[in-house]
Amino acid sequence: MSDAQTTATTAPAATRDGAADEVLLEVRDGLGRITLNRPRALNALTHPMVQEIDAALVAWAADPAVRGVLIRGAGEKGLCAGGDVVSLHASLTGGRFEEAAQFFRDEYRMNHRISSYPKPYVAFMDGIVLGGGMGVSVHGSHRVATERTRAGMPETAIGFTPDVGGSYHLARAPFHAGRHLAATSAHASGADAVALGLADAFVESARLDELEQALAAAFGALGSAADAGGRDDAAFAAADEVLARFAVAEDARPASALVAGREWIEDAYGRETAAEALAALDERAAAGGEHAEAAGRAAEAIRTKSPTAVAVAHEAQARLAERGADLTVAEALRQEFTVGAHLMREPDMPEGIRALLVDKDKDPKWSPVRLEDVSAEDVAAHFEPVEGVARLELS
Which of the residues are catalytic? Answer: 83, 132, 155, 163
Kindly give the pairing relationship between strand 68-73 and strand 121-125.
Answer: parallel
**Where does residue 175 fall: left (phi above 0), alpha (psi -120 to 50 degrees), or beta otherwise?**
left
Distances (CA, A) of 343 to 29, 148, 336: 45, 32, 10
Report the 10 Å Cβ neighbour count for 263: 12
Give the DSSP H/E element, type plus range, for residue 274: helix 274-287
Instruction: Output the CA torsion sign for 61, 65, 66, 68.
Output: positive
Distances (CA, A) of 342 to 300, 302, 312: 26, 21, 11
Distances (CA, A) of 33 to 81, 112, 170, 230: 19, 19, 27, 20
Can you tell me the distance from the alpha carbon of 141 to that of 116, in angstroms, rounded to the nearest whole number?
A: 9
Gyration radius (Cα) of the chain, Å: 21
Can you tell me the distance from the alpha carbon of 96 to that of 384, in angstroms, rounded to the nearest whole number?
A: 21
Contacts of residue 339, defined as CB under 8 A and 6 or more positions apart, other chains included, come to: 161, 312, 316, 382, 383
Can you tell me the distance from the alpha carbon of 235 to that of 32, in angstroms, rounded to the nearest whole number?
A: 13
Report the 10 Å Cβ neighbour count for 18: 9
Angle in degrees, CA 195, 196, 198, rounded to 5 = 105
Residue 306 half-sphere exposure, CB side, CA atoms within 13 Å? 28
Distances (CA, A) of 395 to 52, 54, 58, 67, 69: 17, 12, 11, 22, 20
